[in-house]
Amino acid sequence: MLRLYDTRTRQVERILPEGARSLRMYTCGPTVYRFAHVGNLRSYLLSDLIRRVGERQRVRVVVCRNITDVGHLVDDAEIDPAGEDKVLAQARAEGRGPLETARFYEDAFVADTTALNIRPPEHSPRATETVDLMVQMIAELIGKGHAYAVPDGSVFFDAASFSSYGEISGNRLDRLKPGHRHEGVDPRKRFHADWALWKASDREMTWDAPWGRGFPGWHIECSAMSLRLLGGRIDVHTGGIDLRFPHHENERAQSDAVAGREVVRHWVHGEHLLFDGRKMSKSAGNVVLLKDVTDAGLDPLAVRLALLEHRYRQQTNLTWETLRAADRTLRRWRARVAGWSESPSAPMPAEPVARIEAAFDDDLDTPLALRLLRELERDDSVAPGSRFEAFLHLDQVLGLDLSVDIGRAGSLPAGAAELLERRERAREAKDWAAADHLRDELAALGVRVADTPQGQVWS
């Protein structure tokens, strides 16, 4: 069964107990005020891989991924009633309404995840449509002595009331230093590490609550949505490593304080993605969107393959060259699967497939899985029909659409698919004489081959 690194316990653990047939997973969704870049999308690939491995083991996976379309401030470290909500700020800059802006970027996010073969969640709640759940949960926290309202109508979580705070990140309350803005620590807080559950405000996009009109804090939405839609026991909670603190610490405290027990069994985080050696940012000028990849003539699933070349909890550096290399590999595998499809089907090679599946189970060791897959690709002792069945079986987890060229291969003359595969190998080995000779053989069969930066193409 699948084992993953649990950030809270700091060890690789089996995710489900023996005999469990369902897995409930929550993943922190996007704040929809801009296009997601490929670093953002890496987090959602993590939850997709967990889902696919679970489903391969005949486990029913139920996923909830929220949409933050209100309440997330440019600076969430402090309550700032006059502060800019990211969605509102973007809407103002674009000259349209906040919900129109949020839906535009939400649709773009869904399109990107679809292009990466990230399966849609069962639940995709929006913050603006679930404020009632948040208000209800805040009232429960106040009633249980874990939160307090202040005279202006804001509500804070009482961090000191949750004794195990810091188990995910290691940031214990007695060691936390106050964060100072120019006006100093917020005097409304009982303790500097308390955080906002409700922010009193009369700005746009606010709601009525028992404490006064305002809008929810960022952290409360995930607690309220996950508890309502997945119940009081969540098997896996995923997100980027940047959410470990304070978001997931605060979320854990809120959820556990209401439920009276540990709600999330395993916290799993994906590491940062760098591009050209630096964290992606506008100031660095290295933000790469999925659209940039497709505009460069690359398959969007080249991004998925490039990310699979590294383990989810390793900091990874992408470059345009690694993306181009992934695109070439993707095209080669599809061509070879198409070529193998012309051979008689045969049972999958049991031992190589078992080793690759074991790599998936072992904390999503996708780099090892891909190395073993390349070995299988080159192993001519395994019948083409066996390799065909193995590649399509394993693609249920990899999600690379390795079968898309099969229909095209059916129109090739007999023997041409094998010649195309041999020529691709010759190009990889930089054996240009052999590649030219094979091009001539293909031409004699009526197949025209051209070389492009993305690999060979034929007609």
pLDDT at residue number 8: 97
- Token duo for residue 323: 């993306």
Cα gap 309→397, rounded to integer Å: 14
All structural domains of the chain with their residue ranges: 3-270, 321-411
Give residue 290's pLDDT: 97
Is 266 annotated to bind ligand? no
CATH class of the domain at 3-270: alpha beta
Residue 282 annotated in ligand binding = yes
* Residue 251 annotated as binding site: yes
Q: Which residues contact 170 (CB under 8 A, 6 or more apart)?
A: none
Contact 340, 406 (CB under 8 A): no
Backbone angles phi, psi at 161, to 5 degrees: -80, -10
pLDDT 10s per residue in the chain (459 long)?
Answer: 899 999 999 999 999 988 899 999 999 999 999 999 999 999 999 999 999 999 999 999 999 999 999 877 766 555 454 567 888 889 999 999 999 999 999 999 999 999 999 999 999 999 999 999 999 999 999 999 999 999 999 999 999 999 999 999 999 998 888 764 545 678 899 999 999 999 999 888 999 999 999 999 989 999 999 999 999 999 999 999 999 999 999 999 999 999 999 999 999 999 999 999 998 877 778 899 999 999 999 999 999 999 999 999 999 999 999 999 999 999 999 988 988 988 899 999 999 999 999 999 999 999 999 999 999 999 999 999 999 999 999 999 999 999 998 766 556 777 887 788 788 888 888 899 998 999 999 888 888 888 876 678 777
Strand segments, DSSP code E, in 165-227 are 195-200, 214-216
Fold of 321-411: Four Helix Bundle (Hemerythrin (Met), subunit A) (1.20.120)
Question: d(Cα 405, Cα 458) in Å, to the nearest integer?
Answer: 12
- Establish whether 144 is an annotated binding residue: no
Does 222 belong to an annotated binding site? Answer: yes
Dist CA 5 CA 26 (whole Å): 16
Question: CA–CA separation, 393 vs 340, rounded Å?
Answer: 14
What pLDDT shows up at residue 77?
Answer: 54
**Model confidence, pTM:** 0.89
The pLDDT value recorded for residue 82 is 54
Produce one character per residue of 113-124: b if its CB has 16 or more CB atoms within 10 Å, e if not: bebbbbbebebb
